[in-house]
Structure 1
């Protein structure tokens, strides 16, 4: 029940506005560096901490954060020149390069997978799953082999945030590995529970608190939990959020790119060295959450903010877990080393505390 209460409170805070910082310094045409972020979820907090805690301004940068309707929109804003950086999933880096647009992964903002699959009440009942059990049971995935749960997804319409969402690949490719075929539907995560209630989708794959909302308010049943590692490792990407920039931006303003990386490095180091300060900053954006509930949520997520360095090995793995529809010949021909920034721009993972 602690978990239920925790996410119930987080749901109440999910719509809190997140603010940007800024004055007149930086490398943009008007002195402002703009970063488009895919969502307001925990997966983006490393960038938000860097802004709030002065790590960007320490580098002489004036940064403005804007929230987009998913990673695809954030990358589109970057490619159109409206922003210099975007926070989105690794698949956005891979597929954009495969289409001939040179973008580079600059930092890993959140390591691990946050998304979970939730079945609608009607779908669960068709599969013989009880939906009249207590909430504490419905917010936990069933004690059933993962292969069987994946096979049960065959033919279901499953909502994802976008065609290239980092949360989509583990569902599609894992299902394909057991001979199941999922029918993807795309919509904003915040709209998924309502679509489930209306019977428009059979299931969804979303991050907290949306996944819990689908259980608590839409009557769904938790089916596969991403945060606890229930998806097969060989079908799971290594990160849920990546900071991206274009090769053009690197060539045009390498000093700013270098400073952004430095700010991310310092923020990750702060999380490692002074987690209480980092926690206090994130707490401001979830001010309505009960303290004990927030404490539990922070403990479960803080370790995902301290591995910002990007590597070719990460992308080599993430290419292998793409669903068949995205694993085109152009994708398979990519060299993972070409998907990340040169070492001079690459953030460093925090050094061990002395």
Structure 2
């Protein structure tokens, strides 16, 4: 498998984990980025965006925008890179290695408490798109988050949004954060393998991993947050998750570029809302389906309800995220967060009306 020079540089910097999964995602990103009409053909302004798992359906707008040629249409040469977890995409952004990150909006609140000004500029979703899976072997022992005590629960990475949401569900249901063990297992094959081998009793993941687990008969769905109604039931409101977020100083200094990115992403979200899961799947890199196009289309279909059609932050969404984080995150619980500085609708509203 080919590894890019950038992959090697990031690995040397110690920013990569679960390298086998990441290498596959990076290869897919690099191949597409160099593929002429469907990717950044080397022309236009160069922008690097780190994604918390390019092949995850929750972050699909990133690669889909590339494949549809919308970045090129805006005169941008966007280079998509991949990390197995959103927390690592956040690290790459804050360290200045990339100009943007595609990950969960909740990182903007967490970073503000650490003195970092980061904001969501395009909000892809109004639900987490996450699913709590329970191993079939432990299905009788874990029937709700109340049973998390003493269990090993998989998350993409420690400090990731799956980690945040797992902790919230535990605390909300009377289980202390110290009473269960979060295990960083990534997504895709590494998550499936951990479940299969009993390294975890369950875990939080997204499609297409969810579809694979169910198809293999390895687990069952405990909590489904792929829809707004699922988010409302589990978290008490809309939960804006996947987004394009960037450092505020960079946004303010490159408004024309950010507007072009917003134009491209909003165009993609609109396209997604008018096309079937099969049509969307056909636009994605062939290897994302892992040899099963029907299963991949099913995974997309299950997750489509989480996406916005216009990239605008949902009303009351930031408040829900703050409530969730305050339940278990001592940094945020004891801090005053200025939610108005964690996102902007300036660019997407111009894209929608223009």
Q: Same fold (TM over 0.5)?
A: yes
Partners in 2 of 1:212 and 1:287 — Cα distance? 11
Are 1:112 and 2:114 an aligned pair?
A: no
* Per-residue CA distance 1:27-48 (angstroms, 9 max, x = gap): 4xxxx21111111111122122
- 1:162/1:292 Cα in 2 relative to 1: closer, same or farther (>3 Å)? closer
SS in 2 for 1:95: helix
Q: CA deviation at 1:84?
A: 0.6
Distance 1:200 1:292 in 2: 29
Q: CA deviation at 1:50?
A: 1.5
TM-score, normalising length from structure 1? 0.76
Q: CA deviation at 1:63?
A: 0.7
List aligned pairs for 1:1-354, cutoff 5 A. Answer: 17-18=28-29, 19-20=32-33, 21-27=39-45, 32-39=46-53, 40-124=55-139, 127=141, 149-181=144-176, 182-190=180-188, 191-214=190-213, 217=216, 219-227=218-226, 229-230=229-230, 232-235=233-236, 238-273=239-274, 278=280, 280-282=282-284, 284=286, 286=288, 293=295, 296-305=298-307, 306-310=309-313, 313-322=316-325, 324-329=327-332, 332-341=335-344, 343-347=345-349
Q: After the TM superposition, which of the residue ranges 223-232 and 237-246 deviates more from structure 2?
A: 223-232
Using the TM superposition, give the Cα deviation of residue 287 of structure 1 relative to its aligned residue in structure 2, in angstroms: 5.9
Q: Runs of 5+ in structure 2 lacking a partner?
A: 1-23, 34-38
Distance in 1, Cα, partners of 2:212 & 2:89: 25
Question: In the superposition, relative to structure 1, how do residues 266 and 113 fare at CA in structure 2: closer, same or farther (>3 Å)?
Answer: same
Q: CA deviation at 1:261?
A: 0.9
Residue 253 of structure 1 deviates from its aligned partner by 1.7
Q: Deviations over 1:278-332 (max 9, x none)?
A: 5542375656666655554444334444241125732122111126332534774
Q: Which has the higher contact order (CA 8 A, sep 6+)?
A: 1
Structure 1 residues 191-212: Cα deviation after superposition (integer angstroms, max 9, x where no partner): 2232233332222111123234
The CA RMSD measured in Å over matched residues stands at 3.2
Post-superposition Cα deviations, 1:90-129, rounded to whole Å, max 9, x if no partner, equal 221111111111111011223323222222344335x2x8
Structure with the higher helix share, 1 or 2: 2
Q: Once the 2 structures are TM-superposed, how far is the Cα of residue 59 of structure 1 from its aligned partner?
A: 1.2
Gaps of 5+ in 1: 1-13, 130-147
Number of matched pairs: 313
Tell me if structure 1 keeps the 8 A contact 2:226–2:306: no
Q: Which has the larger radius of gyration?
A: 1
Give the corresponding residue for 2:5. none
* Residue pair 1:34, 1:84 contacting (<8 A) in 2 also: yes
